Amino acid sequence: MEKGRPGETGQAKCTALIRSCVLRCSFPLPFFSQSLHPGTRGSLTETSSALRGQNPETTALGPRLGRGVQQARTADGETEVHSRRSTARGEEGGASCPAGCAAPGPPPPAPRARAPRLVFAVATPSALRRVMVAALVAAWLLLAAAARAQREQDFYDFKAVNIRGKLVSLEKYRGSVSLVVNVASECGFTDQHYRALQQLQRDLGPHHFNVLAFPCNQFGQQEPDSNKEIESFARRTYSVSFPMFSKIAVTGTGAHPAFKYLTQTSGKEPTWNFWKYLVAPDGKVVGAWDPTVSVEEIRPQITALVRKLILKKREDL
């Protein structure tokens, strides 16, 4: 027996295989018979023709059968060929599905999404009133904040703690002239400035003018006492009646925001005790002087600003 040429046993098995295929699936023989050995091909052709003659339906259905073949192993280890039928397509052969073959129907419709349900709650009149009041208050606050943001910041926008520990808004001094001074109890300028400042407060204040005193211990450690002791010293020694605030820093990174504003807008930073900053009724800084400039020297400028304010108030009346 030559290599690659099937013997009688192989020919018998191949014939049985084709016979089973034709009987089970009516598979057309010409599809693969061309690749067989001529001897085997002749035997199979006779067998296929005989089977086709015995089964007329095979001949009729053969051209319309699908050609997919799946090979699988059975439990006994033998190879069995199964054919898979496929429905004839109209565009290929134009033939209709044979009797007993269920034609594929149209695809099922996609499920329709349900529209969301809106649930409305009925509010009572009192609840509606509360909501309206809250909305009005919120709108008013927003408008006030917007107006404040649009207006340029000034000295009276800040807050400070007074000499007795109470937080005070400097807004209360808006509309009047202010002379802001960083004071100290043990400085060489203390006596001269305290007396002149108190006289200025007595002559021009308190309705149109105020001295605002901020104790500071940054220069020469000349304000070492507590707030209570500072206030007692100023009241007892000079009978001061102008507003005094708690001890603060007026320069450096820890400087009070109000003094930062004074420094930035005037372009002059305190370098010693008793720096004086003149603030107009609208909160803008209009002048700044170091301790070597006496209160008497700047008194005419302060008086002119106060007089202008008084005249304006009279015109408004």
pLDDT confidence of residue 141: 86
Question: What is the predicted pLDDT for the residue at 119?
Answer: 55
Catalytic residue among 21, 25, 187, 216: 187
What pLDDT shows up at residue 36?
47
pTM above 0.75, yes or no: no
> Where does the chain show beta strands of DSSP type E?
68-73, 79-84, 159-161, 167-169, 177-183, 209-215, 276-279, 285-289
pLDDT of 77: 43
> Residue 306: is its pLDDT beyond 80?
yes
Who wins on pLDDT, 84 or 109?
109
pLDDT at 69: 38
Q: In the chain, pLDDT over 70 holds for what percent of residues? A: 59
| Residue 132 confidence class, pLDDT cut points 50, 70, 90 | confident
- Scanning 205-285, the segments in alpha helix (DSSP H) are 227-238, 257-266
pLDDT of 56 strictly over 70: no
Contact of 79 with 43, CB cutoff 8 Å: no
How many CB atoms are located within 10 Å of the residue 176 CB? Answer: 19
List of domains in the chain: 8-86 (no CATH), 155-316 (3.40.30.10)
Residue 209 in this model has a pLDDT that exceeds 50: yes
Average pLDDT over the chain reads: 77
Indicate if 187 belongs to the active site. Answer: yes
Q: What is the mean pLDDT of residues 33-47?
A: 50
Tens digit of each residue's pLDDT (9 = 90 or more) over 220-260: 999 999 999 999 999 999 999 999 999 999 999 999 999 99
